[in-house]
Amino acid sequence: MDSSRRLPKVSAHDLLEIVRRLVVSKGPLPHAVRSAVDELFLLAPIRYYLQNYTQKQINAFATHASRYLELYYPTGSIEISHTSRYSHRTGKSELCILATRNLASGTVITELKGSMANLTEEEDRELKRTDLRNKDIRRDFSVIHSKSMKKNHLFLGPARFVNHDCDNNCELFREGKYITFRVLRPIAIGEEITAHYGDSYFGRKNRHCLCETCEKKCRGAYAPDHTDDDIPSDSSFSDSDDSDSECDDTPAIGPDNDVRQRQLNLDERRTRRGVYAVVNKEEDQSDESDDEDGNVVPLAGATDIPSPGEIEMVTEGDANSDLTSLPSSRAPSNCNQAGPSRLHTSASELTPISRSTSSLSSLSSTEGPGASPASKAKYQSIISTRRQKVEAAARLSTSTSTPPTEDSASSRRVTRSSVSLTPSKPKGEQKGQSSVGSTPTPRRSDHAKAKEEPKLKKDDSDPRTLRPRLSTTVTASEPAKEGSSKPEIPRGPDGKPLPICATCRSILPVISVDHKIVWGLGLEKESKKKREKQNCPRCMRHYAIYGEPWPRRLPLPGFASTFTPTPREEMTPMESTRKVTHKVLPVLDRKIAAVASSKRKRSSEEADEEEEEERPTKKHKVLQQLLPVKRVPIPLPEGQKRKRGRPRLSSLPRTLSAPAPAVKVEDDEMPLHPSGFKTQGRRMNGRFERKVSEPSTNKDYDSNSPPGRAQRALERERMKQIMEKDSKRGLSDGEIGQVAKRGRRDDNEPPLKKVFPKRMVSGRSGNLFSRPNPMSFAARAWANPLVSDNGSSDDDKGPDTPEDSLSPPAIVTVELEEWERGPSLIVTAPAILPAYKPSPFSFARRRWSSLSASPIDEQMKSTNETRPPHGMERILGNGCSSSISTRPTGYAKWVSGNDMYTSEEEVRARSPIQP
């Protein structure tokens, strides 16, 4: 056992879905529970958690889980709920067990199971250390101490949430490794199930007990002279001290000990696998005895479970607890074996009982076969005080159970625990009936006759941050009052109304974890409207699971269920009746992996779709703001169906009811392509197809754009020729300059177009043009071919940069469209072609540096061969400028002037200046 282990983090939603499917599942309970366990085992965190455990341990886990899942079945009679009764001591919100139906005395609450796991000495020590070492790990286990074995056992299962009350309404039984409870007196819906831990569990004579009985009697921790001196602290968890337990045998509460204890029958036999019969020690030691189907081991390592009567609850963190020595359980020798059968109740039985005498008497009639007085005597509590022993003996002699009377109910008192006493019922129904939902247990008539409890002394000085206690006492007459007038609003000691649950009318709890309040604080301050709608966590959870208001678990006859749980998406990879074996684990793994990957795929596809939907939305944001447009679904081509999800919505309406507002295009803005943009094709799955890039043939479009480098080079070349002509004609330098300025070299030639650099809108690019540096110079030069210089052709040759000579040959990759794709075509330029990094900087460098021709050009000249452009730009030997334009798609094009050609030859052929 790894006491510091982290628990698997399972999504609450996943768990809720499993439980919801369980509650609506048809068929026998074990089958439904088994299916739910199978589903649980499909959850990745659970699988991850179990991966290192043995088969036996995995089975034990399955059994353990089934005990909890079983509670939710609609026929179940208990639920786990919060209680804040002990929070101020433990610092955490504790749990308790509440009845979800009326329980007759003698009823064995079969689903309230517990089991004990052996703790090795090392594990025991480890548990004690855990708290000190890992403060963030809350110890949430109970320990039972076996006096005869002098060792501790881990108490597991829902039974471990049964709290102690000095006047308990249930008693503990043990069968084999299981522990369960039998009802001692009628319990109403919502009432807490309590047991007796022992006379000295909470200190000597339970002087630190916080139970409701002690509260009412001003005893235990509520005693006027109570001191916190020896209150056990969580961190001082230690082995129980048995020393004074033998002598401390006085029951805290109960009748006089004048009834002689009877000899109880130890040979009680089990009639079926269950938890309500007592077995003898020999039988108890056999491991297989409690296996339902021969393969379920209740808990790992549970081999030497103590015999009945040898166990005691060991307080968590109780260093000083005085543990009571318990005698062996004995059942009467004349006992029959017939045990109580599982409770079968209809939805109508789920109505909370009334506290009126008539309702209470009806409780007796609900008693099942297991509730017969005779059956009561068959079981012996394993945690017994002297009072209980006396009572057990008394029960043997008298076969009648005393149902609570009106008087008994009158002694109920509302506390601030997780549930309230306020008689009520779920909204809109059960009018005139009391909601029980209360922690306080019904008093026996003898106790009930006790005088009005004195006001609690500790109330005012109580430093806890819990909801204040009520200052009023709820009496049995209240239900009657309630029927006629408004239900009484519970009030705190300050007279202010306490927030109550809209459904069960309990006082809303304050739930805290590690001394931090996580729920319920500040609810008093909410507006009246909000407060009236507020439900307690228990009722909220109940509704989430059953779709019915608490405490109903099934829809009313004639009404359909208000919700349908998500159907199981994947079948469990094993038969629900089969055990979880290591063989099936790989199958489960594969299944989980498949589910996970399909989920991932689905979510990525959905993300894609959403992105697609989003993109145009952003693009046309302005338009959308101007026009309140309605998103319309895009009609799919006939015969095509959208596979799943909501219909695709166009971000823009295809048909706008109002004409689109005119968008003014600024003159200096890039004009739209006259032929418009081609719509990009879409694939079946809605994704865009690749754009088919075509060479631009529209010269108008190109002519509007600034001249390219090739064009500028061409212009320079022309200029050079004109100047040469002029000089031949004998023009002076000044005249030549004027011609150049005039931009007219020949009457037949079109005027040179002066293109000013475009002003960049923002950022560094804007500065580029305003600051005199090589960068801005280069940019200007690129943009404007008429930047005056002496027209030296040397300029055009460009310098040879170190990169040029060192760089590896450029590789031009020509990609073909999918449809025309063979293998990718890679065109490798001649080895001499140096790489060129096109940047204003390198351009400037070339302009400013040496004017000599590069060695490459020299070589070219000498071999008289043409070669691909010098990087992005070079002056060809024939005076035609060409460049490579590499589009992002990887298409290579020859560009000359404004035109684009597919080959160098074409460039040369179409060059206006032929050699």
Binding site for ligand SAM (CB under 6 A): 86, 90, 94-96, 140, 142, 160-161, 163-164, 202, 209-211, 315-316
Q: How far is CA 112 from CA 339, 341, 545, in A?
A: 15, 14, 20
Min separation Cβ 648 and ligand SAM, Å:
51
Min separation Cβ 195 and ligand SAM, Å:
9
User: Residue 513 or residue 787: which is nearer to ligand SAM going by CB?
Assistant: 513
Bridge-partner residues for 155, per DSSP? 116, 142
Residue matched to tokens 């026996």: 444
- Do the beta carbons of residue 454 and residue 218 sit within 8 Å? yes
- Do the beta carbons of residue 880 and residue 894 sit within 8 Å? no
Q: Which residues of 149-183 are buried (b: 16+ CB within 10 A; e: fewer)?
A: eebbbbbbbbbbbbbbbbbbbbbbbbbbbbbbbbb
DSSP string, 481-506: HHHHSPPPPPB-TTSPBPPB-TTT-P
Amino acid at site 656: L
Q: DSSP state, 536?
A: -
User: Residue 513 or residue 593: which is nearer to ligand SAM going by CB?
Assistant: 513
Helix H, strand E, coil C: the string for 303-367 is CCCCCCCCEEEECCCCCCCECCCCCCCCECCCCCCCCCCCCCCCHHHHCCCCCCHHHHHHHHHCC
User: Residue 41 or residue 202: which is nearer to ligand SAM going by CB?
Assistant: 202
User: Residue 315 or residue 401: which is nearer to ligand SAM going by CB?
Assistant: 315
Bridge-partner residues for 682, per DSSP? 688
| Radius of gyration, alpha carbons of the chain | 44
3-state secondary structure of 688: strand
Tokens of 309: 């009567």
User: Residue 87 or residue 345: which is nearer to ligand SAM going by CB?
Assistant: 87
Q: Which residue from 80, 266, 110, 262 is spatially nearest to 180, judged by alpha carbons?
A: 110
User: Residue 97 or residue 907: which is nearer to ligand SAM going by CB?
Assistant: 97
Min separation Cβ 652 and ligand SAM, Å:
58
Min separation Cβ 116 and ligand SAM, Å:
12
User: Residue 164 or residue 542: which is nearer to ligand SAM going by CB?
Assistant: 164
Min separation Cβ 176 and ligand SAM, Å:
20
User: Residue 160 or residue 177: which is nearer to ligand SAM going by CB?
Assistant: 160
User: Residue 92 or residue 395: which is nearer to ligand SAM going by CB?
Assistant: 92
Min separation Cβ 68 and ligand SAM, Å:
14
Alpha-carbon distance of 594 to 809, in angstroms, equals 48
3-state secondary structure of 531: helix
Min separation Cβ 61 and ligand SAM, Å:
20
Alpha-carbon distance of 265 to 331, in angstroms, equals 3
Q: How many Cα atoms are found within 13 Å in the side-chain-facing hemisphere of 701? A: 12
Q: How far is CA 374 from CA 102, 336, 345, 792, in A?
A: 20, 9, 22, 123
Min separation Cβ 82 and ligand SAM, Å:
9
Bridge-partner residues for 512, per DSSP? 517
User: Residue 221 or residue 739: which is nearer to ligand SAM going by CB?
Assistant: 221
User: Residue 512 or residue 651: which is nearer to ligand SAM going by CB?
Assistant: 512
Min separation Cβ 162 and ligand SAM, Å:
6
Q: Which residue from 734, 345, 812, 695 is spatially nearest to 554, judged by alpha carbons?
A: 345
Min separation Cβ 265 and ligand SAM, Å:
28
User: Residue 161 or residue 894: which is nearer to ligand SAM going by CB?
Assistant: 161
Amino acid at site 99: A
User: Residue 91 or residue 757: which is nearer to ligand SAM going by CB?
Assistant: 91
User: Residue 209 or residue 907: which is nearer to ligand SAM going by CB?
Assistant: 209
Min separation Cβ 516 and ligand SAM, Å:
17
User: Residue 253 or residue 302: which is nearer to ligand SAM going by CB?
Assistant: 253
- Do the beta carbons of residue 375 and residue 314 sit within 8 Å? no
- Do the beta carbons of residue 836 and residue 871 sit within 8 Å? yes
Residue 521 exposed, middle or buried by CB count within 10 Å (0-12, 13-18, 19+): middle
Min separation Cβ 633 and ligand SAM, Å:
53
**Hey, how many other C-beta atoms are within 10 angstroms of the C-beta on 309?**
24
User: Residue 157 or residue 403: which is nearer to ligand SAM going by CB?
Assistant: 157
Min separation Cβ 172 and ligand SAM, Å:
11
3-state secondary structure of 95: strand
User: Residue 383 or residue 853: which is nearer to ligand SAM going by CB?
Assistant: 383
Bridge-partner residues for 82, per DSSP? 95
DSSP string, 142-162: EEEEETTTTEEEEEESGGGGP
Residue 412 exposed, middle or buried by CB count within 10 Å (0-12, 13-18, 19+): buried
User: Residue 211 or residue 907: which is nearer to ligand SAM going by CB?
Assistant: 211
Min separation Cβ 458 and ligand SAM, Å:
14
- Do the beta carbons of residue 320 and residue 244 sit within 8 Å? no
Min separation Cβ 512 and ligand SAM, Å:
12
Bridge-partner residues for 211, per DSSP? none
Min separation Cβ 465 and ligand SAM, Å:
18
For residue 387, give every residue at least 6 positions away whose Cβ sits within 8 Å of its Cβ, in sequence order, or none.
251, 253, 254, 255, 257
For residue 180, give every residue at least 6 positions away whose Cβ sits within 8 Å of its Cβ, in sequence order, or none.
108, 109, 110, 112, 113, 114, 159, 172, 173, 174, 274, 275, 276
Alpha-carbon distance of 346 to 351, in angstroms, equals 10
Min separation Cβ 545 and ligand SAM, Å:
20
Min separation Cβ 577 and ligand SAM, Å:
33
Q: How far is CA 291 from CA 174, 284, 294, 350, 642, in A?
A: 15, 12, 5, 32, 52
